[in-house]
Amino acid sequence: MKPSFYDLNYSDLETLVNQNNLNHSAASALFNWHYKKKENRPCVDKLSKAAMAFFNDHFDFSLPEIDTVHESSDRTVKFLFKLKDHHKVETVLIPFHNKYSICLSSQVGCAMNCSFCFTGKQGFTRNLTTSEIVGQFIQAWRWLAANRPGEERILNIVFMGQGEPLHNFDAVKKACEIFLSKHGTSVGIQKITISTAGYIPGLERWSEEIPGVNLALSLHSPFEEKRNELIPINKKYPLDQVLATIDKIPLNKKQFVTYEYILIKDFNDTAEDAEKLGALLVGKSAYINLIPFNAFPGSHYKSPALDKIEKFKGVLDTFKIPTLIRTAKGDDVLAACGQLNSKNAPNLP
Ligand code: SAH
């Protein structure tokens, strides 16, 4: 099988062009064609005959296929992608004012096994390749261009779909390099966010390898015991060490770390939880996202009532930590946080 063109970052491509004595503009021509224009036919622009033949002969230009699409009443779009080995992953487009954030998957399933997450229930199958990550973006963009013309603007990229992105660091890093390349999609670094359950080996690589990319930590409880129950890898990488590792990552002036906190009824939603959370994060460049628990088939947790959620936020306000209550989008098609499961998802209309 030929290697995928979409596994190459710009410098890989330049190296190939030089090694094979192809015309110098070939790398920028190819990135422009496949990433800026997002064409899905072979590049015919500014490429010498030799370069055209070389890339067509040696590389595969296919992308993950869209298997199904579910459009929510709030215009959220959930894609199920079919990969070459027939495994499936999900990707979500989240609308805001006719523009979109894209929520990308980084693995087939997930090894973290978090107790509140539907993806965790399907177990871990394998890492996605860079081309399978980048492919989700391009295919979603093409779908928008075809189905919602004029709306093909994807402004934010968040790694909050299936999988633990830091557990697949190399492929995720290369996908970020491709998104950031000025020769292609040219996404601003401040527009990319990677969310982690607190996988320290990846956090330790952050400053050197993906500096400037935004970080979100799934925190969910300030108490180690409770966090162990929610996020089993907390036993290996405890929260205090995770936070200390994050504190060492330099931030730009206007940058902050997002701390995600799922509110689960009668589990982590009391004033005491909020006080401890506030005390833990006060003084940091922090932003808290409160996410009322999203139910999925077979889940036994529940979301607290709205007044309880607002009280929780009220406590955090006293610490002057900016806090947002994140309303669920796309939950009628199981596209909200933690509802992605490409193995056991029920059939939807
Ligand atoms: N593995 C990464 C990214 C995937 S999860 C991580 O743990 O951060 C993306 C976000 O959805 C995380 O904050 C996760 O905790 C949250 N999430 C998972 N299941 C959820 C559920 N049932 N309800 C609400 N949020 C959930």
- Answer yes or no: is pLDDT of 76 > 90: yes
Residue from 113, 117, 259 whose mutation best tests the ligand 1 pocket (most atoms within 8 A of CB): 117
Catalytic residue list:
90, 337
What gap in Å lies between CA 307 and CA 315, rounded to an integer? 13
Of all protein residues, whose CA lies closest to atom 15 belonging to ligand 1?
A: 218
- Tell how far the Cα of 338 is from the centroid of ligand 1, in angstroms: 5
Distance 221 CA to ligand 1 centre (A): 13
Q: Is 338 in the pocket of ligand 1 (CB under 6 A)?
A: yes
Q: pLDDT tens digit string along 204-213?
A: 999 999 999 9
Dump pLDDT digits (tens) for 9-22: 999 999 999 999 99
Q: Is the pLDDT reported for residue 43 higher than 90?
A: no
Q: Residue 112, exposed/middle/buried by CB under 10 A (0-12, 13-18, 19+)?
A: buried
Counting Cβ atoms within 10 Å, is residue 46 exposed (0-12), middle (13-18) or buried (19+)?
middle
> What pLDDT was estimated at residue 297?
86
Give yes or no for a contact between 132 and 90, defined as CB atoms under 8 angstroms apart. no
Task: Say how far residue 344 (Cα) sits from the centre of its chain.
Answer: 21
pLDDT score of 295 more than 90: no
Q: Which of 173, 94, 189, 93 is nearest to 133 (CA)?
A: 173
Domain locations in the chain as residue ranges = 5-58, 65-333
Is any atom of ligand 1 closer than 6 Å to the C-beta of 291?
yes
- The residue to mutate among 106, 116, 118, having the most atoms of ligand 1 within 8 angstroms of its beta carbon, is 116
| Residue that has been written with the tokens 């005390």 in this structure | 279
| Residue keyed to tokens 């409160």 | 290
Say if ligand 1 is within 6 A of residue 116 CB.
yes
335 alpha carbon – ligand 1 mean position (Å): 12
What's the rounded mean pLDDT across residues 57-81? 95
pLDDT band at 273 (very low <50, low <70, confident <90, very high): very high
Which backbone phi and psi does 296 adopt, to 5 degrees? -145, 165
Q: Is the pLDDT of residue 345 over 70?
A: no
| Ligand 1 atom 8: residue of nearest CA | 196
Q: Is the pLDDT of residue 334 over 80?
A: no
Alpha carbon nearest to ligand 1 atom 9, residue: 160
- pLDDT, tens digit, 9 for 90 and up, residues 251-269: 998 999 999 999 999 999 9
Q: Phi, psi at residue 55, to the nearest 5°?
A: -70, -40
Q: Is 92 in the pocket of ligand 1 (CB under 6 A)?
A: no
| Nearest alpha carbon to residue 117 among 256, 218, 225 | 218
Residue 83 has pLDDT above 80, yes or no: yes
| 3-state SS assignment for residue 210 | coil
Name the β-bridge partners of 78. 70, 92
Question: By percentage, how much of the chain surpasses pLDDT 70?
Answer: 97
Supply the residue whose CA is at minimum distance from atom 7 of ligand 1.
Answer: 197
CA–CA separation, 179 and 9 (whole Å): 9
Going by alpha carbons, the residue nearest to atom 19 of ligand 1 is 338
pLDDT at 133: 98
User: Is the pLDDT score of 346 beyond 60?
Assistant: no
Q: Is 330 helix (H, G, I), strand (E, B) or coil?
A: coil
Average pLDDT, the chain: 94
Name all contacts of 152-155 with Cβ < 8 Å and 24+ positions apart. 153/98, 153/99, 153/100, 154/93, 154/99, 154/100, 154/101, 154/102, 155/99, 155/100, 155/101, 155/191
pLDDT at residue 348 in the model: 53
Residue 298 pLDDT: 87
Q: What is the structure's pLDDT at 333?
A: 72
CB-ligand 1 contact for 218 (6 Å cutoff): yes
Q: How many CA atoms lie within 13 A of 203 on its CB side?
A: 22
End-to-end CA gap in the chain: 36
Distance CA 222, CA 287 (A): 15
Q: What are phi and psi of 57, to 5 degrees?
A: -75, -35
Nearest to 127 by CA among 95, 159, 99: 159
Name the residue with higher pLDDT: 281 or 298.
281
**In CATH terms, is domain 65-333 a member of 3.20.20.70?**
yes
Q: 195 CB under 6 A from ligand 1?
A: yes
Say whether pLDDT at 198 is over 90: yes
* pLDDT at residue number 328: 74
Span 300-311, pLDDT tens digits:
999 999 999 999
Taking the C-alpha atoms of residue 326 and residue 79, their distance in angstroms, rounded to an integer, is 22
> Which of 128, 203, 214, 291 should be mutated for ligand 1, with most atoms under 8 A from CB?
291
Average pLDDT over residues 67-78: 94
Q: Which atom number of ligand 1 is nearest to the Cα of residue 110?
A: 1
- What's the CA-to-centroid distance between 11 and ligand 1, angstroms? 33
Which numbered atom of ligand 1 lies nearest the CA of 289? 13
For residue 117, report the distance from its CA to the centre of ligand 1, in Å: 6
Q: What are the φ/ψ torsions at residue 40 (nearest 5 degrees)?
A: -115, 25
**pLDDT at site 344:** 66
Structure tokens at 97: 């004012």
